[in-house]
Structure 1
Amino acid sequence: MFAAHPARAADGFVAVPPLTQRVTDLTGTLAPQQRAALENVLAEYEQQRGSQIFVLMVPTTEPETIDQYSIRVADAWKAGRQSIDDGVILLIAKDNPPGLRKMRIETGRGVQGSLTDAVSSRILRDVMAPHFRQNDFYGGLAAGISAIQAAIDKEALPGPDRKAGNAAASALNDWLPVLFPLAIVVFFFLSAILRRGRGPQIVTGRRGWPTTTAGGLGGLGGYEAGRRWGGGGGGFGGGGGGGGFSGGGGGGFDGGGASGNW
Structure 2
Amino acid sequence: MMRSRTRRSIVVWLVTVVMAMAAGISALEVPYLAGRVNDQANMLEDGFEAQLEERLRLLEEETGAQVAVLTILSLEGDPLEDFSMRVVETWKLGREDADNGVLILISRDERRMRIEVGYGLEGALTDAQSGRIIDHLMAPRFREGDFNGGVGAAVDAVSSAIRGEPVDIPEKRTETGGFNPASFIFLLIFGLPFIGTALSARGAAGWIVGIFLIPFFFAFPAAIFGVTIGKIAAIAWTIAFPALRLILPKKS
Taking structure 1 as the reference length, the TM-score comes to: 0.53
Deviation at 1:60, TM superposition (A): 1.0
The corresponding residue for 1:103 is 113
DSSP 3-state at the match of 1:82: coil
Query: Structure with the greater relative contact order (CA < 8 A, sep ≥ 6): 1 or 2?
Result: 1
Give the superposed CA RMSD. Answer: 1.9
> Are the equivalent residues in 2 in contact too, given 1:103–1:261 (CA < 8 A)?
no
**What is aligned with 2:164?**
154
User: What letter is aligned with 2:116?
Assistant: E
Distance in 1 of aligned mates of 2:61 and 2:154: 19
SS of the residue 2:62 aligns to? helix
Task: Report how far residue 28 of structure 1 moved.
Answer: 1.5
Looking at structure 2, the residues matched to 44 and 144 of structure 1 have their Cα atoms a distance apart, in angstroms, of 16
- Equivalent in the alignment of 1:91: 105
Moved >3 Å (runs of 4+)? none
Partner of 2:88: 74
Find out whether 1:65 has 2:75 as its counterpart.
no
Counterpart-to-counterpart distance in 2, 1:41 and 1:20: 16
User: Match of 2:75, SS?
Assistant: coil
Contact 1:128/1:140, CA 8 A, preserved across alignment:
yes
**Superposition deviation, residue 11 in structure 1:** 5.0
Whether 1:32 and 2:32 are equivalent positions in the alignment is no
Structure 1: any 5+ residue segments left out of the alignment? 1-9, 156-259
2: CA distance, partners of 1:82 / 1:141: 26
Helix, strand or coil: the match of 2:67?
A: strand
> 2:153 pairs with 143, 150, 153, which one?
143
Aligned equivalent of 1:55: 69
- Give, as a single letter, the amino acid of the residue that structure 2 aligns with 1:102: R
> What amino acid does structure 1 have at the position aligned with 2:163?
D
Match of 1:158 in 2: none
Name the aligned partner's letter for residue 68 of structure 1.
D
Aligned match of 2:200: none
What CA deviation, in whole Å up to 9, does each residue of 1:182-211 have, x standing for no partner?
xxxxxxxxxxxxxxxxxxxxxxxxxxxxxx
TM-score scaled by length of structure 2: 0.55
| Counterpart-to-counterpart distance in 1, 2:117 and 2:84 | 10
CA drift at 1:82: 1.6
More helix by share: 2
Q: For each residue in 1:207-228, what CA deviation from the matched residue of structure 2 results, as whole angstroms up to 9, or x when unmatched?
A: xxxxxxxxxxxxxxxxxxxxxx
- Structure 2 partner of 1:124: 134
Deviation per CA, 1:96-135: give whole Å up to 9, x if none. Answer: 2xxxx60000000000012111111011111111111111
Please give the alpha-carbon distance, in whole angstroms, between the structure 1 residues aligned to 2:93 and 2:146.
Answer: 26
Which structure is larger by alpha-carbon Rg, 1 or 2?
A: 1
Q: Identify unmatched segments of 5+ residues in structure 2.
A: 1-23, 166-174, 178-252
User: SS of the counterpart of 1:57?
Assistant: strand
- 1:12 CA displacement: 2.8
Q: How many residues align?
A: 145
Residue type of the alignment partner of 2:162: I
